[in-house]
Structure 1
C-alpha cells in the first residue's frame, strides 16, 4: 500500500474526538487547486486554522490572535503559492488555495478548525494530473510517446484520450506497471497527431484531466501518403507539397514514378507541362508544382521530397485524370451516351449528372439530376442543350467533376425546320454574291471593249483633232479684225 494511503488511515484514526470528512480534488499541473474546508459559522471568535500535509508538516496556519505561519517549503519569501482568503472566514469557508500546482503537491492534506477542545477535521486527497510528450515538436516519422500521469495514481481508475476534443483510440497503449497503470501512447509522428491531447482519468465518479499540445513538423500538405489529386483533361492542376512553416527544405526534388514499382518505385520523366510553383532555388516551405495542361498520359504517381534537419522527407501522391467519353450517335434515333471516365476509380462511390443551363443574362440554373456513371440522351433537343456536369463522390464527399457541352454534339439530329432555314439562308447569300461578281465582270468587259474601239484608228483621230483646232484659230482671227 502506498505511503499516502497509510498516513491517510493513521490521521483518520487519531482524530477520533473531532468530526472528520474526506474529499477528493483533481488539478492539472500549473493550475490552481482549491482544497475545501467548510463548517458552520458558529464561532464567537475567530478560530485557529491549521492546514498540514501528510509526512510534510504544516502548510499554513493561523492562530486565534491573527498571526499566520507558513511551512518551510511553502514560505511566501520564495513564492506565495498558498493562501487562505480571510474574507470567507465569516461564512465558515476556510478552503486553501494552491497556485501553480506541481506534481509533488499531490497527496493527503488535513484542515483543522476549532476553539479549544472543539473542532472540525477535514481531510482532502489532492491528485495532480499531467500529460507529457517525449518531443513537443517531432519530425514526421519519428516515434512519439505521450504519457498520462496522476500523482498519487488512484487504483482502479480508467483512462481515455481525446485529440482536438474528439475521442482518440491509440493503436499502442502501454501500462507502465500493474499497480499504477499509467497509460503511455506510442505513435509514429504524422499530421493527424497535431493538436491538443487531453488525458481524462475517471475515478469514483469524478474525473481529472490534463492537456498538452503536440505539433508535428514535416510535409503538412498533402497530409496523407498516396493522396489522390483529381484533374480534368485539358485543365491546370496543382500538386501540393507544403512543409511546416519555418522549415525550409534543402535539395527539394519532384519525380514522376514509373508504374509497377510499389515498394521501390523508379523515377520516370516529368510531363512537358510540369513546372514548380516557384524556382527550386528559392528558399520557401511551399514546394508545390503544377501542370499547365493535363493530358491522359500525365496520370500516375508523383513524389515530392526535401531534407529537414538532416532527415529526408518524402510524400507520394497520385494524379487521377477525368474525362467524358461520348459515343457515336445513332443515325436512326439520334441517341448518344456520355460516360464519366477516370484513370482510377478506387475511391469513387457514386456518380451524379447535373444539367446546367445559362440564360441570356448569364444566370446559371441547375436542371435535372441523374445518377450513374453513364448518361443516355435519346435525342438532342433544346431541353438537352447546355452544359452537363458529371460529379463523382467518395465516402467523405465530392472528389471532383468534369463537364461536357452539348453544343459540341450539334448537327447530330437537329430539328429539320431549323436545318432547312439555315441551308436556305446560306444559298441566298451565295446567290447574291455570285450575282454581284457577274455584274462586276460585265462592266469590266464593256469598258475594255470601248477602249479597244477607240484605239483601233489612231491616224483618223489625229486628223479630226487637227481640223478642229484650225477652225477654232480662224474664228479667233476674224473676231480680232
Structure 2
C-alpha cells in the first residue's frame, strides 16, 4: 500500500502536462465512471490510452479507430467486456472510462493519455472501491455482529461515518479504522435496532463515497422490544404475542408471569386460570403466542416468553395493562351517573375519548364521540343514554385500546323516571293484592264445598245440624226482643 502511494506521488511529479488527479469512490458491484476530459481542438481524433499503474493497458483506441483491451480485461469477451469508452461523447471532449460491476481488485491508480499529434495530455484517477459486509450475514439476537466498511485502497486520513436506516449511528465503542486491514468495523450485540440498511460514508479530500448493506437479525420479532405493553378490557380475551423469525423453530418454549419487584431478575409467579400457552388457530412452529380467554383485574402485570434457538435462550418480556370503567351514582346531584376510565398502568396514555354506541333496527353499530377526558358525567339519564358507553384511550402513536360499559335503566335516577317507576310499582302491588283476595275467596269457597259434601253423606247428622242451627237462631231472636 505504501508503495502504491509512493508510485502515485512519483508519477504525479514526473508526468508533464497532467491536467488533474481525481479521487473516485465506487460501491462494489456498481458502475464506476473514470473521468477524462479535454478541451483541446484538433481536426483529427486523438489516440486514447487507458492504463492502470503497475497493471498495464486497460483499453486503448488508435487514431484509425481500432480498439484493444488489456489481457486481464478481455476475458470472457463472449459475455461482453466490463469496460467501455462511449464514442458518442468524444465530440464533446469526454473520454471517460466506464467500468461495470466493479470489484475490489479494480481499485488503484488509472491513467488517461490523449495524443493529439504532438500534443499529449495525461490525467490520473484514483479509484477506490467501498464494500460493506455484515458478519454473520443473519445474526441471532443477542450474539455479536460486526459491520465492516472496507475501502480498497484505503484513503489514509479519511473520515468514516455510519448511517443506520437513514439516521446517524453512534456506536457504543469508538470507531477506529484498522489501517492494516484497511477497514472500519462496528461490533455490537445483535438486537432489532440493528436491523435495516447500514451505510458507510467515507470523506476524503472533499470527495464522498458511500456503500450499503442490509442486516436482518433473527430472534423474537414480535414484540420487537422488551416491556411492550398489551392492553385489554376486563372480561375480554387477549393475545400475548411471542413470534420468532419464520425460519426459526424454537424448542423448550416457556411462558411465565413475573412477580412485581425488581426488573433485573424478576421471579416467576403463577399464571392466570384462563391462560393458554398456545393459540388454537396457530399452526406455525415459530409462533409461541399465548392467550387469556377472560381477563380479570388480577391478570395485569409482566409476562415473559422464552425459547431455545441454536443453543441460545431467547426471551421477551411484555406487560398486560387491564382497563375497566368504574361507575357511580351521584348523591348530591340527583339523577346523574359518573363513569371513570381506569387502567392498571397509565404511563403511556396521552388522552381519553368517550363514545356513545347505538344500534339501528338492523343491528348496525354506530358510535358518536361525546367528549374527551378520563371522566364522563351523564346527567338526568334520559332513556337514550342507556346502553353502551365506550372509553377509547390513546398513546403517542394512536389508539391503544378501549373498554365498554353498559348503562342499565334504573329507577330513581331522574324525577320523570321516578314518578313513572312509582306508578308502575303501585299498579303491580294493587294487582298482586287483588289476586291474593281472589285466591282467599276461592279457597274458602272450596272449603265450604268440601264440608257440605261430608255432611250430605249422613242425613241424620244433617237434621241434627239444622235443628241446632234453628234453635240458635230462635234464641238470638228472643234475646233481641228482650
TM-score (norm 1): 0.81
The structural deviation recorded for 1:419 is: 2.5
The structural deviation recorded for 1:89 is: 3.2
Distance across 1 between alignment mates of 2:188 and 2:279: 34
In the alignment, which residue of structure 1 is the partner of 2:471? none
Distance across 2 between alignment mates of 1:335 and 1:458: 72
Q: Are 1:21 and 2:20 matched, yes or no?
A: yes
Q: Equivalences for 1:56-205 in 2 at 5 Å?
A: 56-77=55-76, 80-177=81-178, 182-205=183-206
Distance across 1 between alignment mates of 2:289 and 2:359: 38
CA contact (8 A) 2:177 2:183 kept: yes
Change in Cα spacing, 1:374 to 1:189, as seen in structure 2 (3 Å) is same
Change in Cα spacing, 1:336 to 1:429, as seen in structure 2 (3 Å) is closer
Stretch moving more, 305-314 or 238-247: 305-314
Distance across 2 between alignment mates of 1:427 and 1:185: 85
Change in Cα spacing, 1:176 to 1:39, as seen in structure 2 (3 Å) is closer
CA contact (8 A) 1:41 1:91 kept: no
Distance across 2 between alignment mates of 1:306 and 1:160: 36
SS, match of residue 72 in structure 2:
helix
CA RMSD of aligned residues (A): 3.7
CA contact (8 A) 2:231 2:323 kept: yes
Distance across 1 between alignment mates of 2:203 and 2:368: 53
The structural deviation recorded for 1:358 is: 2.5
Stretch moving more, 431-440 or 228-237: 431-440
Q: Equivalences for 1:326-405 in 2 at 5 Å?
A: 326-327=327-328, 329-330=330-331, 333-334=334-335, 336-345=337-346, 347-358=347-358, 360=360, 362=364, 364-371=366-373, 373-376=374-377, 380-381=381-382, 387-405=388-406
Distance across 2 between alignment mates of 1:360 and 1:45: 89
Change in Cα spacing, 1:181 to 1:368, as seen in structure 2 (3 Å) is farther
The structural deviation recorded for 1:2 is: 4.1
Structure 1: state its 5+ residue gaps. Answer: 460-481
In the alignment, which residue of structure 1 is the partner of 2:309? 308
The count of corresponding residues between Structure 1 and Structure 2 is: 454
The structural deviation recorded for 1:435 is: 5.7
Deviations 1:139-183 (A, max 9, x none): 000111112222333344433333233443333332135799954
TM-score (norm 2): 0.81
Stretch moving more, 336-345 or 317-326: 336-345
Change in Cα spacing, 1:178 to 1:281, as seen in structure 2 (3 Å) is closer
The structural deviation recorded for 1:310 is: 1.7
In the alignment, which residue of structure 1 is the partner of 2:290? 289
SS, match of residue 8 in structure 2:
helix
SS, match of residue 268 in structure 2:
coil
CA contact (8 A) 2:32 2:102 kept: yes
Q: Are 1:9 and 2:9 matched, yes or no?
A: yes
Distance across 2 between alignment mates of 1:69 and 1:287: 63
CA contact (8 A) 1:334 1:379 kept: yes
Q: Are 1:248 and 2:249 matched, yes or no?
A: yes
CA contact (8 A) 1:41 1:90 kept: no
Distance across 2 between alignment mates of 1:339 and 1:309: 49
